[in-house]
Amino acid sequence: MLDFEAGSNIDYRKIGEEMRFRELARPGDGYETGTLNKITDLEGIRVGHYTLIEDSPRCLRTGISVIRILSVYERPVPAASSVFNGYGKSMGLIQIEELGTIETDIFLTNTLSIGAVHQGAVRLALESNAELSSLNVVVMECNDGYLNEIRALAIKEEMVADAVGNAKRDFQLGSCGAGTGMVCFGYKG
């Protein structure tokens, strides 16, 4: 739980600077972050992005993000899902609910590009595994339709390979990949 009361652990001198949340307010959970304070502090996790920004002839602010789980195709890992608003578009959650495992990386992209990212991920998996005949690719939605001309269907299958190829431990944060066109409470998120 966070403590935002007067005299709390918030460093008000840092407000307005570019910073991570834990630099502004320390959660009272007693846990320390890893060395990077990123999901990739977990062993075997990498994150990659493909970012698409274009101003003319159309306004594009979109992309693909991938959470790579090393060796997941050979050794599926335990997983679960929980739908909390029922409005998001996704692929792959039903099998996670049924089997309790995930067998691919996790992809994020804009609402109307889930199909293209799914197809690109399947093609990549088929290229690297000759015996593969079934695969449950997980693709989740980031609705960037306010800042991005989402109807342009600008995300293409081949861009998935770039996102996967860019995956690393110390990845870029902020306005990149699937988050490029995101909005949060009316502001750029």
Evaluate if residue 1 carries a pLDDT over 50. no
Based on the fold, state whether residues 5 and 67 are members of the same structural domain.
no
Based on the fold, state whether residues 20 and 38 are members of the same structural domain.
no
**34-59 average pLDDT score:** 95
Based on the fold, state whether residues 51 and 118 are members of the same structural domain.
yes
Torsion, CA 76, CA 104, CA 87, CA 83, rounded to 10:
10
**156-169 average pLDDT score:** 98
Based on the fold, state whether residues 18 and 62 are members of the same structural domain.
no
Q: Average per-residue pLDDT in the chain?
A: 88
**53-59 average pLDDT score:** 95
Based on the fold, state whether residues 45 and 19 are members of the same structural domain.
no
Domain that holds residue 181: 34-188
Domain count for the chain, please give it.
2
Q: What share of the chain in percent tops pLDDT 70?
A: 86
Residue 54 CA neighbour count, 13 Å, CB half: 14
Q: What share of the chain in percent tops pLDDT 90?
A: 69
Give alpha helix (H) positions in 65-174: 93-99, 114-128, 159-165
Q: What is the pLDDT of residue 4?
A: 47
Evaluate if residue 98 carries a pLDDT over 70. yes
Based on the fold, state whether residues 41 and 122 are members of the same structural domain.
yes
Which residues touch 94 (CB under 8 Å, ≥6 apart)? none
This prediction has a pTM of: 0.86
Based on the fold, state whether residues 59 and 138 are members of the same structural domain.
yes
Q: What is the pLDDT of residue 17?
A: 63
Based on the fold, state whether residues 49 and 124 are members of the same structural domain.
yes
Based on the fold, state whether residues 86 and 159 are members of the same structural domain.
yes
What CA–CA distance (Å, rounded) separates 41 from 107?
19
User: pLDDT tens for residues 102-128?
Assistant: 999 999 999 999 999 999 999 999 998
Based on the fold, state whether residues 18 and 59 are members of the same structural domain.
no
In the chain, the largest separation of any two C-alpha atoms, in whole Å, equals 61
